[in-house]
Structure 1
Amino acid sequence: MWAIRSLLGLRCAAGRTMSQGPARRPRPPKDPLRHLRTREKRGPSWGPGGPNTVYLQVVAAGGRDAGAALYVFSEFNRYLFNCGEGVQRLMQEHKLKVSRLDNIFLTRMHWSNVGGLCGMILTLKETGVPKCVLSGPPQLEKYLEAIKIFSGPLKGIDLAVRPHSAPEYKDETMTVFQIPIHCEQTSGQQPPVQSPERLSPQPPPLAESADGEQRPDGVGWKARGRDTSLVVAFVCKLHVKKGNFLVLKAKELGLPVGTAAIAPIIAAVKDGKSVTYEGREILPEEICTPPDPGITFIVVECPDEGFIQPLCENTTFRSYQGKADAPVALVVHMAPEHVLLDSRYQQWMERFGPDTEHLVLNETCESVHNLRSHKIQTQLGLIHPGIFPPLAGPRPQEGSATQGVPTVRGQCLLKYQLRPRREWQRDAVLTCDPEEFIAEALELPNFQESVQEYRKTAQDSPEATSSQYPEVVFLGTGSAIPMKIRNVSSTLVNISPDTSLLLDCGEGTFGQLCRHYGDGVDRVLGSLAAVFVSHLHADHHTGLLNILLQRERALASLGRPCHPLLVVAPTQLRTWLQQYHNQCQPLLHHVSVIPAKCLQKGAEVSSPEVERLINLLLETCGLEEFQTCLVRHCKHAFGCALVHMSGWKVVYSGDTMPCEALVQMGKDATLLIHEATLEDGLEEEAVEKTHSTTSQAIGVGMRMSAAFIMLTHFSQRYAKIPLFSADFNEKVGIAFDHMKVSLGDLPTVPRLTAPLKALFAGDLEEMEGRRERRELRQVRAALLAGEDVEPPQKRAPTEQPLSPQSKKARAQ
């Protein structure tokens, strides 16, 4: 045991130097996925034979926090219709396997439909999916080029883009036809009444950016690729499923069941042909069930009234309406309520006939999506309801706007089965029962006792006298990819009742705001003065565009003018924003970018415009100083420090290894928010991925004499709670999604440790077991390699220079 501890002590000490010892071996190439091997075995001769099981399932029901997304399952293929922010997280939570996706269909190039596509593609690539077909508007290919600005080359996955003009797509399950629908608005007409998602006006005339560059003015934007007047509908026709061979009936007729001679007979009757056996003609219906016809379903988006008339007049849709012999099974409507209420649209729906079902996905379809978030927040609220406030629940659904046809409002995980029989299935639909969550927590051993003990201790402690502000709301505390309990990086700092800023803005940040603030989200967006983007990894900035778009909508609803949002970020962010602006949606008029490098100590301001924006930032936020520094993660990665006029100082690390520049910038911080991606003992992995371990993060805080340290950005392997290290003390706290703390709450946070350990005892025990097994593997490997085992020598943490160019692409 002494040898084991000695060896492990040496490993930890060497890891803390962060420059000594080899990095972990590179992972071997991933094997082909099992379902791909099965498909290869079937071979090309398999051909379309019609699947036995096909159903559609609602992933996101159309609410403002989740958008509208649809998952289609067959035993051969998986499909996704639209991929807005948070879709990947929902699929992970509800066990809809991302690794099985063959196709992603996009109805239009709007952020509500494509906001999660970047993260989804990166996940497919990392999972080992060799190919994915993307179908939709013509700008799709340009969008994929644009995301390479921060993702790097998308090697290892073949992204086959099929524009709306391509011929039909056919695979083992179905044939898909793309139907382009153009808005009837012409250049001389006034725009129709817009849906909430189409509030963006055209950008103002030529504007100058913070670096003196000229922004596009919108003239000629259609020629360059952006076309907001186009949506793509999808007509999906299942392949005919051949009838089942009736073995017992065949035996009764004396057919050679069980011999090689039966194979051609089965093939013939399944194809609807009669056979002659021993002089007797046998009809196919005698020994085979009738074939299942190739039924059709349609997915259509109609974002505003400008698309209604073109939709009604489309000849392709007319060919599917009123067909009594082969009616369309289901039409999915992604349309706002005012479109559904339009008499023309209702008549168009009615023309499909009484046997067609209709599924509506829009903002009236309030549904619980992230059930695990509601569950864990309810249970955490038993410990401290102020620090862990309850999340906003769904509002009651409004009545259907279309009474003339069978209409169903979407709910997360609602299914419509197309085969083997057509029916709605609601057994998987989520229900949020806080009483059930509370009862489950109260049954945990020692939980109630630990909560009571904490409350008794809190009563004996002096009450906090600090102001409510600044108030910090942790919206995303996980790393790399969104998961069911921890979303990716984002922290809201409420500086005052009417001023706030975001520290990073990963995918799904707006959805987290909706769940945290409910109907008050517009007020919060209206108070948002600035966003700090630490670096261009997808888990830190891909939620920004939705914040920009939703902020404009919020300000319009509040009757306030929409001034550009100040964004402090690496200058490379502007390239991504401009590409999206050119190809998809106008948004550059929403934002003024302040290069993060211009806020470094001693940096020269690049232009008078930048200086004006910096002064505006300080004045708007009531700050004496907003300083940045380069940190040790990837190229152009920054941390920041906010010094308020009232005296408090909040420091944010972004993603980094222990960094001396951050220590110096953050001296005497009131609050340090530092990433702690990995547990102690994984120092080598932390070096490889340029992140910090728990003790390293705490060490940074101690060296800068921070009054309090909040740890965040945990690896998703620590889904509920990270492992506690020996360095934890009364100045250290763990962040959770939707945790809300003011400076006066900080002394309370460490006292929550005992109830937290009781609540997550099972998870902590499992992680401890994993750590022990890992340490034993390290020891065995060291002994096999003949390493000398010596007593550990205590080493002080040191820091070697690390080039910021060492990493690119997605956060690890």
Structure 2
Amino acid sequence: MIKLFKILTRKNNLSLNLINKFTYSKNSYKSYDNMFKGADRSTRLQILSNGYQNSPKSCILIFDSNRYLINCGEGTLRTIVSSNCKPSKINNIFLTRFDWKCTGGLNGMSKELENLQNTVTLHSNFNFNFSSKNSIKKYFFERDFKIVQHDYSKADYSDPNVNIKKIDMGNTYCSYFINIKQSEPNLVMEKFSKFNVKPGRWIRDLKQGIEYNQNGIIIKPSDVLDYSECAEKKILVLDCPNTEALDIIRNDALINQEDMVMILHVADSQVLNSPDYLDWVKNYINKNCIHIFQDEAFPNIDLLKVYEMQAQLNLIDRDMFKLLPLQLESFRQVQDEFDRKEKEIKKEMKVIHAKSNMIFNLKPNLMLNLDHVKEIDNQAAQRKILEYYEGEKRYLIDGIDAEEKKILENFKTKISNFDPNNFKQAQNSDISYPNILFLGTASSLPATTRNLTGIFVRINPNVNIVLDCGEGTTWQINKYFNDETEFLNELIKIKLVYVSHFHLDHFNGLYSLIQNRVDAFKKLNRPYEKLNILHTRYLTPFLNGNYLIFKNNKFSSYVNTILNDSFLEKNYKNYLLDFKSFGLKSIKTILVKHINQSYAISLDILRPDGQNHFKLVYSGDCRPTEELVDFGKNCDLLIHECTFDDAYKDEAIRKRHSTIGEALDISHRMNAKSTIMTHFSLRYGKLTKIDDINRDNVGMAFDFMSVSENNFKDLNAILKDVKVAFKEHVDVIEQKRVKKLKL
């Protein structure tokens, strides 16, 4: 902009007034003004999720130049990606306590940010001691993740946007007083142009309070600057460990301030809703302060794209893709009833319940923005399928054949006859065992519509087994089994978790699953049964780091840990597990070609007659090998990774993954009766290139896809409908493939 002024005045000899008119009429003076600004003028607090259904209780303070993440529970990265909040701009992470609910997402965040240049500053009451060889970084963070911890014993934290003071709440709990700095005032161009002076670097001095005085012209800051939108704002992130800590809250001067704008309450629900806590909120010193409750008991909808896609898949097959509980009218009734009761209790207070994507604009003006808080609309989601065929982009479609037209007409009929209560019939129908529920089908990092790897195998009515346990696995289980009693019962039926190899996207959900399972036994008043964890030996350091999470040192009483190589044919140890009580005839493992100590597994599942068995083979992550073919010979179901399509075979080889063609070849030579492909690269989003998957009983996995032997026959047939439903996405994938192959 400065160059523009120089060029205009030197080459065209235009008067400054004309320049001013030009810049103002084009609204470009703001760009010029920004050349001299300090702290960001635009600031907002965005809720990522409120903790409902094992979602992370996290939010993000957003400036133009920086992001400040407040708590990083398991699944936080996925909520950030889904909220379009650019994780790459996160330079600070604030933890209000040290437990897995606040820290479980740090692993995934380290994976996302490890290759960036910026260093993340961590804030916590717990000393992470990153300089020690035995620090938490050794157990949990990616090696190249650049992270340091701010030492509040030496100084409060400060940067161009904020000053922050930490408030000790006892144990590892803390709260944060955040003073959002006064931003530099706006230059009012209409007032400035009247002085007929040339803009220059002196405007920076003007904003610092130094008046302009040259050639008899005096300009005071108040003459041309607008201070109305730049005042500092005080907010508080408050985590109260229990009602006993209310004495700290009542008496701390930083917490109780007459000009506090907003308090974000992140304590547990039982604390937030206790009479004493509510009484303090009601009588808070500033009656105009806004109180935001991140109450995990408040029904909340997050990751809206998940429900949108499930509604679309439900249109294709109601048995494989059952509507999730939150997609039903019954959930909306529960939500409305909860909201009504809460308003009754808190009607005398300025309390707002946090919902995903709720935004609080702090600067320039205080304002609640609900534009991004959406309700689930199943029919609207399904109608989006038709929009690509009927809307402005229809010119991109290379014709519609008779079969596609028939599928579209079928979609239209189903959409017009949509009944939200169809879920009840589908969900309560008898399950054919074994049943395979895919909880996560993405690779490496989570996508908006795909979680990280997790497969929930319902062996029989009393036994569940989890194959790989990526971050957010428990959250996914909770989404599928929303009723609390049902969710708790499904957790205690998990007898075994298998981890194929030591990659973050395959094991980072373990601790959450263990904690929730322990709680489930307590809530159901049942004697605890140990969880068996089959794992690669490289996972041992992570499991040994459990003392950082399970502070009561009872981890060994919660789990039995067994190495995967115990089930290799050459050193098979049958005595390690009582297979029959698990509904199994045997478990076998084999080393596969990926990273060191990577395994495939075979489960011989007993059928109801107790004699015959169902052989399920899961490849984990791997390159194709003859050994794997022999290992899975004649299996009933092969679940095989296919991270890439065949156009990316060079990348598959380099990263030791498989392509679609290679997985199909393994399936064919293995003589697998049915095959499901999973573990898709982020580049594919909703679906991979499916034209190559054209064999009976062969299909691809989606999150929340539930299959049993009776619908394996439909695995391939539904792909025609899938291709029509996601036509726009299919076209994008094909364009990328053509570009890759340089066709």
TM over 0.5: yes
Q: For residue 333 of structure 1, report the CA deviation from its aligned partner.
A: 0.3
Structure 1 position 589, deviation (Å): 2.9
TM alignment of 1:51-90, pairs within 5 A:
51-90=40-79
Partners in 1 of 2:556 and 2:407 — Cα distance? 52
Cα shift at 1:447: 5.9
**Residues 657 and 692 in structure 1, CA contact (< 8 A), matched pair in contact too:** yes
Answer yes or no: is 1:741 the counterpart of 2:707: yes
Pick one of 104, 119, 122 that aligns with 2:93: 104
State whether structure 2 residue 256 is matched by structure 1 residue 295: no
Alignment correspondent of 1:590: 558
Partner of 2:358: 414
Task: Tell me the secondary structure at the aligned position of residue 773 of structure 1.
Answer: helix
- The Cα of 1:439 is off from its aligned counterpart by 2.1
Identify the match of residue 307 of structure 1 among 230, 245, 264.
245
Render the CA deviation track for 1:4-59: whole Å, top value 9, x for unaligned. xxxxxxxxxxxxxxxxxxxxxxxxxxxxxxxxxxxxxx9xxx99933211110001
Q: Please state whether the residue corresponding to 1:674 is helix, strand or coil.
A: strand
**SS of residue in 1 equivalent to 2:309:** helix
The Cα of 1:269 is off from its aligned counterpart by 4.8
Report the Cα distance in structure 1 between the residues aligned to 2:303 and 2:585, rounded to whole angstroms.
Answer: 39
Separation (CA, whole Å) in 2 of partners of 1:638 and 1:151: 23
Distance (whole Å) between structure 2 residues aligned to residue 289 and residue 174 of structure 1: 21
CA 1:602–1:390: 2 relative to 1, 3 Å: same
Structure scoring higher RCO (CA < 8 A, sep ≥ 6) equals 1
Q: Percent identity?
A: 26
Match of 1:356 in 2: 289
Structure 1 residue aligned with 2:427: none
Q: CA deviation digits over 1:257-308, x for unaligned, max 9?
A: 2255xx54x4555344666677797654343333632211111222433433
- Give 1:339's aligned residue: 271
- CA 1:380–1:422: 2 relative to 1, 3 Å: same
Q: 1:165 to 1:579 in 2, by over 3 A?
A: farther
The 3-state SS of whatever aligns with 1:329 is strand
Cα distance between partner residues in 2 of 1:581 and 1:133: 24
Aligned to 1:258: 198
**Where do 5+ consecutive residues of structure 1 fail to align?**
1-41, 183-228, 457-465, 606-610, 778-812
Residues 290, 149 of structure 1: alpha-carbon distance in 2 compared, 3 angstrom cutoff: closer
1-structure distance, mates of 2:56, 2:76: 9
| TM-fit CA distance, 1:345 | 2.2
The alignment's TM-score, normalised by the length of structure 2, stands at: 0.83
Match of 2:18 in 1: none
Question: Matches of 1:97 and 1:84 in 2, distance apart?
Answer: 17
Q: Deviations over 1:702-755 (max 9, x none)?
A: 222211111111111111111125463003111111000011110122111211
SS in 2 for 1:741: strand
Alignment match, 1:321: 256
Which amino acid is 1:97 matched to?
A: K
Matched residue, 1:449: 406
How much has 1:239 moved relative to structure 2? 1.1
Q: Does 1:752 align with 2:702?
A: no
The letter of the residue matching 1:548 is I
- Shift in CA distance, 454/180, structure 1 to aligned 2, threshold 3 Å: closer
Q: Measure how far apart 1:664 and its partner are.
A: 2.1
Separation (CA, whole Å) in 2 of partners of 1:497 and 1:403: 46
Q: Give 1:217-228 correspondences, 5 Å limit.
A: none
Deviations 1:111-146 (A, max 9, x none): 1111111111111123x2431111113243469944
- Aligned mates of 1:101, 1:137 — CA distance in 2: 20
Letter in 2 for 1:733: G
After superposition, the CA RMSD in angstroms is 2.8
The counterpart of 1:615, out of the listed 573, 577, 600, is: 577
- Provide the C-alpha distance between the structure 2 equivalents of 1:452 and 1:288, rounded to a whole number of angstroms: 62
Letter in 2 for 1:476: G
Q: Secondary structure at the match of 2:604?
A: strand
CA contact (8 A) 2:250 2:256 kept: no
- 2:122 pairs, out of 128, 134, 152, with 134
Aligned counterpart, 2:150: 162
Aligned amino acid, residue 237 of structure 1: N
CA distance in 2, matches of 1:448, 1:559: 55
| 1:572 CA displacement | 3.0
Q: Equivalent residue for 2:186?
A: 244
How far apart, CA to CA, are the structure 2 residues paired with 1:637 and 1:47?
55
Once the 2 structures are TM-superposed, how far is the Cα of residue 443 of structure 1 from its aligned partner? 5.1
User: How far apart, CA to CA, are the structure 1 residues paired with 2:412 and 2:496?
Assistant: 37
The structure-2 alpha-carbon separation of the partners of 1:114 and 1:48, relative to structure 1 and needing over 3 Å to count, comes to farther
Alpha-carbon separation, structure 1, partners of 2:321 and 2:460: 20
Change (3 A) 1:73 1:151: closer
2:500 equivalent in structure 1: 534
In structure 1, the residue matched to 2:143 is 153
- Which residue number corresponds to residue 775 of structure 1? 741
Q: Please give the secondary structure, in 2, of the residue aligned with 1:518.
A: coil
**Partner AA of 1:678 in structure 2:** F
Task: Report what 2:528 is aligned to.
Answer: 562
Equivalence for 1:521: 487
Aligned partner letter, 1:257: V
Measure how far apart 1:536 and its partner are. 1.1
Matched to 2:79, the amino acid is L
Given that residues 150 and 536 in structure 1 are in contact (C-alpha distance below 8 angstroms), is that contact kept between their aligned partners in structure 2? Answer: no
Q: 1:691 to 1:306 in 2, by over 3 A?
A: farther
Aligned residues: 658
For residues 266 and 706 of structure 2, the distance between their equivalents in structure 1, rounded to whole angstroms, comes to 35
Note closer, same or farther for the CA distance 1:532–1:319 as it changes in structure 2 (3 Å cut): closer
User: CA separation in 2, counterparts of 1:276 and 1:467?
Assistant: 84
Aligned partners of 1:426 and 1:179: how far apart in 2? 31
Secondary structure at the aligned position of 1:755 is classed as helix
- Cα distance in 1 for residues equivalent to 2:718 and 2:69: 41
Q: Does 1:490 align with 2:454?
A: yes
Q: Partners in 1 of 2:719 and 2:124 — Cα distance? A: 50
CA distance in 2, matches of 1:169, 1:527: 47
Is 1:434 the equivalent of 2:378? yes
Deviates more, 1:117-126 or 1:378-387: 117-126
Tell me whether 234-243 or 526-535 shows the greater mean CA deviation.
234-243
Q: Residue 395 of structure 2 corresponds to which residue in structure 1?
A: none
* 8 Å Cα contact 1:491-1:504 kept in structure 2: yes
| 1:129–1:429 distance in 2 versus 1, CA, 3 Å | farther
Pair 1:581–1:403, CA change in 2 (3 A): farther
Hey, what's the Cα distance between the residues in 2 that align with 1:258 and 1:454? Answer: 65
In structure 1, C-alpha distance between the alignment counterparts of 2:204 and 2:736, rounded to whole Å = 53
Paired residue for 2:593?
632
Match of 1:285, as an amino acid?
S
Query: Matches of 1:678 and 1:565 in 2, distance apart?
Result: 34
CA contact (8 A) 1:467 1:744 kept: no
Q: How far did residue 431 of structure 1 move? A: 1.9
Whether contact under 8 Å (2:693, 2:699) holds in the other structure is no
Q: CA deviation at 1:173?
A: 0.8
Separation in structure 1 between the aligned mates of residue 512 and residue 716 of structure 2, nearest angstrom: 34
1:666–1:704 Cα contact (<8 Å) kept: yes
Tell me, yes or no, if the aligned pair for 1:137 and 1:231 is still in contact at 8 Å.
Answer: yes
- What do the CA deviations read for 1:171-217 (whole angstroms, capped 9, x no partner)? 111111111210xxxxxxxxxxxxxxxxxxxxxxxxxxxxxxxxxxx
The aligned counterpart of 1:690 is 656
Matched residue type, 2:594 = H
Asked whether the equivalents of residues 40 and 161 of structure 2 are also in contact (C-alpha less than 8 Å), the reply is yes
Distance 1:738 1:147 in 2: 33
Distance 1:561 1:286, change over 3 A: same
Residues 289 and 773 of structure 1: CA distance in aligned 2, closer, same or farther (over 3 Å): closer
Q: Relative to structure 1, is the Cα distance of residues 579 and 47 closer, same or farther in structure 2, using a 3 angstrom cutoff?
A: farther
1:371 maps to 2:371: no
* Paired residues of 1:340 and 1:402 also in contact (CA < 8 A): no
For residue 27 of structure 2, what is the aligned residue in structure 1?
none
> 2-side partners of 1:744 and 1:428: how far apart?
41
CA distance in 2, matches of 1:242, 1:593: 58
Write out per-residue CA displacement over residues 475-513 of structure 1, whole angstroms, 9 at most, x where no aligned residue: 111111011011111000001112111000001111111
In 2 relative to 1, CA 104–389 (structure 1 residues): closer, same or farther, beyond 3 Å? Answer: same
